[in-house]
Structure 1
Amino acid sequence: MRKLAWGVALPTVILAGFVGLLQLLPSPASPEALADAEARMLSVVKSPLRHQMVQAGSYQLHTVIIGDGSKPPLVMLHGHGGGLAVFAQNFDALAEGYTIYAVELLGWGRSDRPVFEGQTGAEAQAWWVESLEAWRQEMELDQFTLLGHSMGGFVAGSYALAYPEHVAHLILADPGGMSRDVHPKNGIYYNLPPQRIVRLAGPLGPALVSFGREMEVERSPYAEGTLTDYYYQISAAPASGEIAFRKLLGVTEWALPLLAEVEALPMPVTLIWGEGDELVSPENGVRAKELIRTSELIIIPDAAHSPYSETPQAFHDAILNSPFRIR
């Protein structure tokens, strides 16, 4: 029995010691490094853009604006672990038809990162929806096209249900919450959460952020290491958004599945899915299209969970050629 106990304890002690050692080493993460990584991502954008820290209630949301307001507004929301610069490859093409407002959700990117103190999925949902509504009021936007990817798709759909009068066209790209069930491997991964592992890894953290993003990294047009550095800096920043997300996504199911409510969406909805998405199956899109009154489903071949970066041209075409596009 003593040998068995020692056999379990020794690896635990060694692992704890190794993690402790990593914590003593200098980390390459900092607010300045995040701003630099973001700037390198945005260097591919040819259109003039401006940054704005928008007061949204008690917090500030980092926003990039492209255009002078003469074209219909398009509000873009990134997914879990991302920031507005993930859409860098899309800005120029979409700016042909829209004034772009790319927003970093509360608790992510360079937006404020307050400690989320809620205990339920409903509180997490409201945290993002109400901060986005406060942002809208500050920006004085009445109606707009709202695009959300993955977790941002969940927030976009939730916002459209809460404030339908402000959403003229809803675009959901590989959105979260389009099924009640969650594959346990995904539920466990997001409940660790991955950001905590990256922080614990200290200087080894940058090597971990490519996990699950292989296609996106492989097809990246940015200088080598730019994309992974950007994701790393976001992940290594103080914990905030991922804490709220854990209240929405359990190990085996969503606390508030969006699929249960999509029938109530009154505006036209464009669903975009990567055919090879293993995180959020395209079958969820098929079910959603059957439920949403006015909708279209575009499945993009040769794309996985992030078609905006894996197949950007097809992603642009899906948006700009939509019969629901506001002109």
Structure 2
Amino acid sequence: MHQGSRIVTLDNGFHLFTRTVGQGDVNLLCVHGGPGGTHEEFENFAEHLKDHHVRVSMYDQLGSFYSDQPDYTLPENRKYLTIDYYLSELEEVRKKLGLDHFYLLGHSWGGLLAQEYALHYPEHLQGLVIMSMIDNLDEYIDNVNREREETLSKRDVRYMKEVEAEQRFDDPKYRELVDVLNRHFAMRHPENGFQHNVSTMATPVYNYFQGDNEFVMVGKLTEWDRRADTHKIKTPTLLTFGDHDTMPLDAAERMHREMPNSRLVYTPDGGHCHSTDNPKAFFHTLGEFLDDVSSHRFKLKQAVGGHTYEEK
């Protein structure tokens, strides 16, 4: 398999940035969040997993960072703003990278696509990692609203709702309140993450699917719900969440009960981006899962809840 960065040309003519790093016979393909995030959140995975003999592949989805960025105001490009498109893109990337019997990891929006992939193409998977994503958005919306109300004062919550009703999302006080919530539940330790002088978020993609920020879910993804199909995912699966995630942990526990071949682990002091918040705990959990599945030691977890990583 080609190592390093590579541009692949899709059948639709667009170009995607891909990157493969690490040595080993365990192939892990990572799908970034957002929608509209970047592959960069996985750049340190190969180094952290080197003792587990993992080769990590990642890519920027259409519209994101180093990949082509269509003008989505053009009618002919709107067809690319669908879950079905990004699922087909994921399968095409798999083929072009020559992956089969591989592990698929999806974070947030990428975790949504990972669930869709496991339902449509299970024959290609050796293992599945769903990172900070549940199987519907209704429970997510309820949870982030609850987190906001429990974290901020009633006055501040009311102020945010007024701004959102008027769509004045660039209001300075509103941005400050979003930053407070992000520090509690999105990324608790941003000092561990990578830094840019400019924003790398593909805003048109994010706004279309999500909205303005993680705490105002008004985009197209509100229509997505796979609760009726969760039990159909038979692939050995790791469900991994931060213990302060934006995602509801009771929904994660329900998914764990319904998925016949799953393991659920919480990362302490972790938010939605818990691989950045607490990398030691996260990569211990991920490495153990990859080892267990690859060596056929994976054990079914039938307990009602997950467990939190504890430092040995």
- When normalised by structure 1's length, the TM-score is 0.68
- Opposite residue 231 of structure 2, the aligned amino acid is E
> 1:118 touches 1:244 (CA, 8 Å); kept in 2?
no
> 1:182 touches 1:253 (CA, 8 Å); kept in 2?
no
Unpaired runs of at least 5, structure 1:
1-48
SS at match of 1:239: helix
CA distance in structure 1 between the partners assigned to 2:210 and 2:281 by the alignment: 29
Q: Are 1:296 and 2:263 counterparts?
A: yes
1:110 alignment partner in structure 2: 66
Q: Are 1:233 and 2:188 counterparts?
A: no
SS at match of 2:227: helix
2:20 alignment partner in structure 1: 65
1:46 alignment partner in structure 2: none
1:125 CA displacement: 1.3
1:240 CA displacement: 3.4
Unpaired runs of at least 5, structure 2:
146-159, 212-216, 296-312
> 2:7 touches 2:15 (CA, 8 Å); kept in 1?
yes
2:191 alignment partner in structure 1: 220
1:212 CA displacement: 4.4
- Opposite residue 277 of structure 2, the aligned amino acid is E
CA distance in structure 2 between the partners assigned to 1:284 and 1:91 by the alignment: 30
> 2:136 touches 2:224 (CA, 8 Å); kept in 1?
no
SS at match of 2:252: helix
Identity %: 21
1:145 CA displacement: 0.2
SS at match of 1:325: helix
TM-aligned CA distance change 1:240 to 1:254, over 3 Å:
closer
178-187 vs 133-142, greater mean Cα deviation: 178-187
1:310 CA displacement: 0.2
1:38 alignment partner in structure 2: none
- Opposite residue 173 of structure 1, the aligned amino acid is M
- The structure that has the greater radius of gyration is 1
CA distance in structure 1 between the partners assigned to 2:203 and 2:237 by the alignment: 34
> 1:181 touches 1:254 (CA, 8 Å); kept in 2?
no
SS at match of 1:220: helix
2:148 alignment partner in structure 1: none
1:137 alignment partner in structure 2: 95
Q: Give 1:85-96 correspondences, 5 Å limit.
A: 85-96=40-51
CA distance in structure 1 between the partners assigned to 2:242 and 2:248 by the alignment: 9
SS at match of 2:254: helix
Q: Are 1:50 and 2:4 counterparts?
A: yes
Q: How many residues align?
A: 260
SS at match of 1:65: strand
> 1:274 touches 1:305 (CA, 8 Å); kept in 2?
yes
> 2:188 touches 2:271 (CA, 8 Å); kept in 1?
no
CA distance in structure 2 between the partners assigned to 1:170 and 1:244 by the alignment: 23
Q: Give 1:4-15 correspondences, 5 Å limit.
A: none
CA distance in structure 2 between the partners assigned to 1:88 and 1:212 by the alignment: 26
Q: Give 1:310-325 correspondences, 5 Å limit.
A: 310-322=277-289, 324-325=292-293
1:51 CA displacement: 1.2
Q: Give 1:247-262 correspondences, 5 Å limit.
A: 250=218, 254-262=222-230
Task: Kindly report the root-mean-square deviation, in angstroms, between the aligned alpha carbons of the 2 structures.
Answer: 3.6
TM-aligned CA distance change 1:168 to 1:242, over 3 Å:
farther
- Opposite residue 143 of structure 1, the aligned amino acid is H
Pick one of 123, 148, 152 that aligns with 2:106: 148
1:239 CA displacement: 2.3
- Opposite residue 239 of structure 1, the aligned amino acid is P
- Opposite residue 61 of structure 1, the aligned amino acid is L
Q: Are 1:76 and 2:30 counterparts?
A: yes
SS at match of 2:111: helix
TM-aligned CA distance change 1:299 to 1:218, over 3 Å:
closer
Q: Are 1:243 and 2:208 counterparts?
A: yes
> 2:6 touches 2:18 (CA, 8 Å); kept in 1?
yes
- Opposite residue 151 of structure 1, the aligned amino acid is W
TM-aligned CA distance change 1:175 to 1:52, over 3 Å:
same
- Opposite residue 243 of structure 1, the aligned amino acid is Y
SS at match of 1:298: strand
TM-aligned CA distance change 1:113 to 1:295, over 3 Å:
same
> 2:239 touches 2:265 (CA, 8 Å); kept in 1?
yes
1:139 CA displacement: 1.4
CA distance in structure 1 between the partners assigned to 2:140 and 2:133 by the alignment: 13
1:100 alignment partner in structure 2: 56
1:181-220 C-alpha deviation (Å, 9 max, x unpaired): 4427969x9xx99xx989x79xxxx999956442637452
TM-aligned CA distance change 1:90 to 1:113, over 3 Å:
same
TM-aligned CA distance change 1:85 to 1:265, over 3 Å:
same
Q: Which has the higher contact order (CA 8 A, sep 6+)?
A: 1
1:127 alignment partner in structure 2: 85
